Amino acid sequence: MIRVFVALMVIAMSIAAHADTPPLPELHFAPIPEGSRARYTGDRFSYMESGRMDAPALVLLHGVGANSMHWRFQLAGLSENRHVIAWNAPGYMLSDNLVKDDPDCRDYADALADFLAALKIDRLEIMANSFGTRVAQCFANYYPNRVTKMVLTGSATGRKDMPDDEKARIVASRQQQVASGGYGFGARVAALLSAQATPETAALVRDVLRATNPKGFMQAVRFGLGNYYTPDFAERLGMPILLIQGAEDHVNPTEANAAVLEKALPKAHLIVLEGAGHLPEFEAPGRVNDLVSAFLAE
């Protein structure tokens, strides 16, 4: 059952938050472990971080058209009690691409494991959006004892047994979105936000989208069409999971995604925020950060 949380002040909070937009941390780099480099086109991960290095690690996994800049408000707002780390997935920002053009669930799970090895992180909490929620679910499937809690926004489940013609249609549509390059990809912003999103929010999201590298984007798109389905391995995702969904999420609608996960996962709880779209952590960062902080403190 969907538990709907009506955020009456979402618009006001969004305007207040963006009036004092927090700066982004510096971009950092880490070496891809020697034993894994054959799977990548280079030797480099990139990421942003904030908070105390000795605090529990909270790793942020961005969406398919985003990168570490997406987590501006969480890098600032969740750093008091956590070592907050926003990765750039392979092929994003200045992280080198995967060699494999059609990566699967295990490939991205292992990529996150490689990233964590580079930063010497064993156990972690995860916060993820969209494509990042797929990566999180895959990682928790193959490395279940390493994740203590997860927060998933704009959640997506895997899609198994999708007809080849539907996959081809989606791939072609996605290729068209990035056909003019990363700068032109910024035009996609309207599809990700609610009707109430402020111009300031749209401008910030647009700049995040413009950092997209088409090759990494298309690798992530093909992974999202892979032949896996989270409810099939739900018993391995036994950690507490908070699902935060925008009521106006038209990219990954609640009923077909977050609601399915809430029913399938042993310890999942779903909150739906009115007045938010696919990126609730960007449209209502204050409210989302409060929910995440309370959940992690439980």
Query: Bridge partners of 28?
Result: 47
Give the largest Cα separation in the chain, rounded. Answer: 51
Query: Bridge partners of 151?
Result: 127, 242
Number of domains observed in the structure of the chain: 1
| Domain of 287, in residue numbers | 3-297
Q: How does strand 124-129 pair with strand 57-61?
A: parallel
Residue in the block written with tokens 């070496």: 31
pLDDT of residue 218: 96
pTM of the model: 0.93
pLDDT of residue 7: 33
pLDDT of residue 8: 27
3-state secondary structure 63-97: CCCCCHHHHHHHHHHCCCCCEEEEECCCCCCCCCC
pLDDT of residue 57: 98
pLDDT of residue 38: 98
Is the distance from CB of 298 to CB of 243 less than 8 angstroms?
no
The angle formed by the CA atoms of residues 97, 167 and 155, to the nearest 5 degrees, is 70
Is the distance from CB of 216 to CB of 275 less than 8 angstroms?
no
Query: Bridge partners of 125?
Result: 58, 149
With left for phi above 0 and alpha for psi between -120 and 50, is residue 120 left, alpha or beta? left
CATH of the domain at 279: 3.40.50.1820
pLDDT of residue 12: 35
pLDDT in 10s for each residue of the chain, 298 residues: 444 333 323 333 333 344 479 999 999 999 999 999 999 999 999 999 999 999 999 999 999 999 999 999 999 999 999 999 999 999 999 999 999 999 999 999 999 999 999 999 999 999 999 999 999 999 999 999 999 999 999 999 988 888 999 999 999 999 999 998 999 999 999 999 999 999 999 999 999 999 999 999 999 999 999 888 999 999 999 999 999 999 999 999 999 999 999 999 999 999 999 999 999 999 999 999 999 999 999 9
